[in-house]
Structure 1
Amino acid sequence: MKPSMIRRACVAAVALAATTAPAVAAQSSADSGARGGTAAPSDIGAKARLLGEKIVPHKLSFRGTTVGGLSGIDRDPCTGEYVAISDDRSVLQPVRFYTARIAVDGAGVHSVDFTGTHPLLQPDGTVYPPASAGDGKAVDPEEVRVDPRSCDYWWAQEGDRPKSSEEPVIQPSIQFAARSGAYRGQLPLPPNYEITRDDWGIRRNKAVEAITFGAGGSVLTSALEGPLLQDGPEPTLQHGALVRVTQQSRDGGVLGQFAYPLEKIFTAPDGSSTYPPDTGVPTILAYPGDPSRYLVLERTWVAGAGFKIRLFDATTRDATDVQHIDSLKGQQIVPMRKKLVADLATLGLSRVDNTEGMTWGPTLPSGERTLVLVSDDNFAEDAVTQIVALGIR
């Protein structure tokens, strides 16, 4: 949901003005080899073009629920429809997902029609309590993926590191559910994904937002939204940061963990908000047929400048496995290599908003693969639920 509850003045105007910016460079500052990396070779380097977009009506009422907060999306290979998860923490209605038909082709996004919704259930069959309950059982849903083997739903929630020792810790989790929303199980997470009460572990609101299946469903990859506390500070105007990306087997065994180089903050805030700049990885998507290659979305918000959404082509190939390195500070490691695919501000969108989810769509006659993205409106009046389709080659 980040940046959660940020009031964004003039975001639409900034985003529209940004569409006139010059074309982005072929590779980002992270490609230059900072922290031991090397320039991205020909094994990565996808290109993207805008196919179209569609705005979902704000706070659309559907089967007794309020559509919004869509922070993750995936295409269902069993039906051809899409599933999207809402990050409503049972405040408006219980934690839930939606199914939808999205008509996408080379000419754009023609329609978005919701077809169903179900709550995601706890192991005892009940709905999750609201975040305000304070009993430690609330969740913060952020990502959903359809299991390519069973077509069940796997979903990630980032838990909560409390601000006070009097509040309960809610650990992040990756769960799997039946298509009805019934609880089916949980993936064991690596130990360094745990929230602790000291200066170690996952930051508040910077936990597991991104998961993806690769290698035909045999590998589940997760990415943290921001750096672990022990791995160094969050990005600033001067430097980026390293966030951990973990490949696991379906039973939870860690196959490898790698450091992804997050970009530095792109501009200084103008002082119009008390909220500091916010940046991170809200979603990651494996390439079919290449378990080491991913599309990675970086989402940044800065007061007065609005959102910058950038899409990168990245690989774990030749990167250092860091699963047994407690802290990345001062370590000589090789991070994941990445190359800029697109800055959404340069594609001609009506606006650039809080994009948090993405999935592969159908393949076009041209051979391009469609990429479908969704923005999380946080149920705010000045934000939108935007479905965007790109052609990737």
Structure 2
Amino acid sequence: MKSSILAVFIFLVTGCAVQRNTSASLPHPAAPLSIEQLKFLDVYELPFELQYKSTWVGGLSGIDYDRSGDQYFIISDERSATSPSRFYTARIKISGNKIDTLFFTGVQTLKMANGKTFPSLKEGAQEAADPESIRFNPTTNRLIWSSEGDRAERNGIINIKDPWIWEMDLQGHYRDSFALPSNMHVHTTEKGPRVNGVFEGLAFTGDYRHLFVSVEEPLFEDGPKADVDYAGAPVRILKYDAVSRKPVTQYAYLLDAVARKPDPATAFRVNGISEIMAIDAHRLLVMERSFSIGNSYCTIKIYEADLDGSTDVSGKNGLHIDKTYRPASKRLLLNMNDLGRYIDNVEGITLGPKLANGHYSLLLISDNNFSREQKTQVFLFEIIP
């Protein structure tokens, strides 16, 4: 059932806000978590035509919480179609287990290594970005963000663009990049990553010494995509040394089947990892997102995945055939279908501030694909230890 817009937005000099009320106290530093359950508390919806500083607020595909500054970084996946590729800063005030206020405090343009803004696909497909995830590193006061690259016909030619993981300052200026493993390069042949199925998720460990990066769908070499009648499609989670920015390990994670049949039966359907969040040095929250044409909502599942004891598959190809490896274990924490409400294209997840009872909050955000038929939703959960 589709939810109604929860508040009326008031445009302020410092941001556009929907006000219902009080500020939250600054949370304590994050710590390794024990998660027994994710309890739904609230959902908050942004208007479709929301504007902030001459940009269209939509396509929100990644979110991260800066605990010391009590602010959120939110990245848009727009490929400079209406405004240059960008990320926002925002504040989300929680009171009484409800999201009372969400207001944007800034917007920064993502910059290429040469300092210029990214062009649109029409203006320059070879340089265009496809932003997906964003994470803040308080030890460096910098941001990490990912782009999926490209492998599609653009303007009459096949555009081949590698995915990337870049470091930038808080104004969006390029500062460095993470090394790309050889099997993550995009090719014209069916080798390497699939189009729109690469670096969807980023997650720092608590000490910020390592960065996990999730691949949304299987590499071509690792077999077919997940399907209605195919569970266990292997995708890869990369582990990086966050200081040297070099890859250390690759792990296999086995996807669920596509949740619902498409209509017609041959139409588009997908299940893949849309985002990850680290719990500790080897445990991750993994968000699987499934969608099929003919269904109005997505199936979003959140698993606790444990990489401890998993095999390093960096040198392995054909993970669907060669199964002499141990994949990550997974434990279902939440199927959002069970909430009994409309769930859109959820792509972002972050640990939030502590709630009044001392438990941590968890926030999720959805990407509306700049479509009037979809919604930008912010979900609030309580982590039950």
Query: If the TM-score is normalised by the length of the shorter chain, which range does it land in?
Result: 0.7 to 0.9
Deviations 1:311-352 (A, max 9, x none): 111110111110111221321221110011111121244x20
State the superposition RMSD in angstroms: 1.9
2:232 is the counterpart of 1:212: no
User: What is the letter of the counterpart of residue 203 of structure 1?
Assistant: R
Deviates more, 1:183-192 or 1:83-92: 183-192
Deviates more, 1:168-177 or 1:85-94: 168-177
Identity of aligned residues (%): 33
Deviations 1:344-384 (A, max 9, x none): 121244x2000000100012243422111000011100111
Contact 2:227 2:271 in 1 (8 A): no
Shift of the 51–113 alpha-carbon distance from structure 1 to 2, 3 Å rule, reads same
| Residue 252 (structure 1) shift | 2.6
Separation (CA, whole Å) in 1 of partners of 2:152 and 2:259: 29
In structure 2, which of residues 160, 168, 178 is the aligned counterpart of residue 169 of structure 1? 160
User: What is the letter of the counterpart of residue 60 of structure 1?
Assistant: L
In structure 1, which of residues 150, 155, 159 is the aligned counterpart of residue 145 of structure 2? 155
1:266 is matched with 259
Contact 1:77 1:151 in 2 (8 A): no
Separation (CA, whole Å) in 2 of partners of 1:243 and 1:44: 25
User: What is the letter of the counterpart of residue 247 of structure 2?
Assistant: V
Bigger strand share: 2
- Structure 1 residue ranges (4+ consecutive) displaced by more than 4 angstroms after TM superposition: none
1:123 is matched with 113
> Secondary structure, in 3 states, of the residue corresponding to 1:345?
helix
In structure 1, which of residues 318, 326, 334 is the aligned counterpart of residue 326 of structure 2? 334
Separation (CA, whole Å) in 1 of partners of 2:278 and 2:334: 17
Deviates more, 1:290-299 or 1:233-242: 233-242
1:354 is matched with 345
| Residue 131 (structure 1) shift | 1.3
> Secondary structure, in 3 states, of the residue corresponding to 2:152?
coil
Q: For 1:210-359, list aligned pairs within 5 A.
A: 210-240=201-231, 241-250=233-242, 251-271=244-264, 275-287=267-279, 290-305=280-295, 306-331=297-322, 332-349=324-341, 351-359=342-350
How many residues end up aligned between the 2 structures?
350
User: What is the letter of the counterpart of residue 268 of structure 1?
Assistant: K
2:383 is matched with 392
Deviates more, 1:53-62 or 1:362-371: 362-371
Separation (CA, whole Å) in 2 of partners of 1:115 and 1:270: 42
> Secondary structure, in 3 states, of the residue corresponding to 2:183?
helix
User: What is the letter of the counterpart of residue 175 of structure 2?
Assistant: R
In structure 1, which of residues 70, 86, 90 is the aligned counterpart of residue 80 of structure 2? 90
| Residue 226 (structure 1) shift | 0.3
| Residue 385 (structure 1) shift | 0.8
Greater RCO (CA < 8 Å, at least 6 residues apart): 1
Contact 1:145 1:212 in 2 (8 A): yes
Separation (CA, whole Å) in 2 of partners of 1:80 and 1:389: 16
TM-score (norm 2): 0.87
Separation (CA, whole Å) in 1 of partners of 2:281 and 2:72: 23
| Residue 106 (structure 1) shift | 5.3
1:65 is matched with 55
Separation (CA, whole Å) in 1 of partners of 2:186 and 2:36: 35
| Residue 192 (structure 1) shift | 1.3
Separation (CA, whole Å) in 2 of partners of 1:45 and 1:265: 26
| Residue 169 (structure 1) shift | 1.0
> Secondary structure, in 3 states, of the residue corresponding to 1:168?
strand
TM-score (norm 1): 0.85
Separation (CA, whole Å) in 2 of partners of 1:329 and 1:48: 32
1:3 is matched with none
Contact 2:150 2:162 in 1 (8 A): yes
